[in-house]
Amino acid sequence: MQNSHILLADDDAALLTSLSDYFGRYGFDVDTAANLADMRRLSEEGHYDLLIAEPMMPGQHTAGLLREFAFERRIPVIIHSRASSDIDRILGLEMGAEDYLTKPCNARELLARANAALRARRRQADAGTMATAPRDNSWVAFQGWRFDLTTRQLFDPTGGTISLSEGEYQLLRVFVANARQVLNRNQLLDQVYGASSDHYDRAIDVQLCRLRRKLSAGGLKGQTIRTVRNEGYIFVHPVTAGNAAN
């Protein structure tokens, strides 16, 4: 199997060298970027399976590029940052990051998180649309919204596009395939990340919070995904499905 190609971005030259050597010993193809310009250039020159980045590089504004990786290119992003406050973590996750680790972080833990993100991405790619969803459905609709399962795009009633990270897309896919059914956290973890996933309950909480916020910001009124106490969550709207011919 082809080695995973990752991009490490950090303004700490010694750390970049250390992590590059460490990941290389475990079979990764690694490129490094010391600033935003390097990140941009390398991202345009090649394809990456994962980005591990410090968003707090002096004089740099990496938020836009991190969002591009996460939302447009659908490449998993792990933030590895010196910033450690709760607000920093929340902002990092809102940029689209799948995970957030605070420095100093054990290289072995960073490697484990990277492997978990890559395994989840491979499982999602292999699974495609859920087995419970009709195979010929290429889109679903609810409350005037349209969710294209082929292009992975979500459109509000005006036709505007709502950007979704890979995790948000997978979570919404599960909910619309099981509309008006209560799903507990374990079911969501299994169906979003796979039964053998290393992800934990908090991963679902983060994705759910972001998804709810985007649906609300897009104009969807009321509780679209309702919490059912001691049971789980339910997508409350009826969903209609169709295919490209419709």
User: Which of 235 and 206 is assigned the larger pLDDT?
Assistant: 235
| 139-142 and 240-242 strand pairing | antiparallel
Strand order in the sheet with 225-228: 182-183, 232-235, 225-228
User: Which residues, at least 6 apart from 59, have a Cβ–Cβ distance to it below 8 Å?
Assistant: none
∠ Cα 82 83 86 (to 5°): 145
Query: What domains appear along the chain, each with residue ranges and CATH number?
Result: 5-127 (3.40.50.2300), 139-242 (1.10.10.10)
Span 86-129, pLDDT tens digits: 888 888 877 778 888 999 889 999 999 899 888 877 766 555 43
Whether 196 has a pLDDT exceeding 60, the answer reads no
108, 112, 150, 113: which is closest to 129 by C-alpha? 150
Q: Whose structure tokens read 């890979």?
A: 166
pLDDT, tens digit, 9 for 90 and up, residues 56-79: 887 666 777 787 787 777 788 899
Residue 22's pLDDT is what?
96
What is the distance between the alpha carbons of residues 110 and 115, in angstroms, rounded to a whole number?
9
Percent of the chain clearing pLDDT 90 (strictly above)? 29
DSSP H stretches of helix in the chain: 13-25, 36-45, 63-67, 86-94, 107-127, 166-177, 185-193, 201-217
Torsion of CA 97, 235, 148, 157, to 10 degrees: -100
More confident residue, 75 or 24: 24
Query: 220-226 — which CB contacts under 8 Å span 24+ positions?
Result: 220/143, 220/145, 220/156, 224/143, 225/175
pLDDT of residue 21: 96
The answer to whether the CB of 71 falls within 8 A of the CB of 163 is yes
Lowest mean per-residue pLDDT among 36-45, 99-108, 194-203: 194-203
CA 246 to CA 242: how far, in whole Å?
Answer: 6
pLDDT value of position 195: 52
- Span 156-176, average pLDDT: 87
Cβ neighbours for 11, distance < 8 A, ≥ 6 positions apart: 34, 35, 54, 57, 58, 60
